[in-house]
Amino acid sequence: MTSRPTVRTYRSARTSGGVGGVVVEVADDGVVQGVLRHQLWSSPTGMQWGFRGQGPRDLARSLLIDATGDLLTCSACHGRGGQAECRSCRGGYTLAVTEEAAFEAEVVSGLGPQWSLTREEICRWREARHAPDATV
């Protein structure tokens, strides 16, 4: 009997414990595992959604990095690079600024107060952008 893949879901949550009163819960097969790690790059005040700006850009970055697992980890510094330490990446990950900005514009900026996304949806978005016939 083969086991089915874990369904990872990201969903909005408002709380007094998060930076700015918001966090993104991460659930595997419906069981909350914790909160999404903030991959800080441009927003010291935390992740946000529903508009364009630094908070939504960091949420886009954080979602893309978590959803892809080790795929975006820098092979030069093995994910340990700080903002200025590794010349091959940004903060330990090889995520392109243009991809991060596009995900913010196309997905994160349109999220309402209550939302959820699956890892599969995020990866399908990436695959569509990287398809040979993509015109994005």
**pLDDT averaged over consecutive 10-residue blocks of the chain (136 residues)?**
81 68 86 91 87 94 92 86 72 89 96 94 92 56
- Return the structure tokens found at 20: 């700015």
Residue 133 lies in a domain: no
* pLDDT for position 136: 43
pTM, 2 dp: 0.86
Per the structure, the count of domains in the chain is 1
Helix ranges (DSSP H) in the chain: 54-68, 97-106, 119-130
What is the domain extent for residue 40? 8-120
Rounded (10°) CA dihedral 59, 65, 68, 74: 160
Residue 30 lies in a domain: yes
* pLDDT for position 117: 97
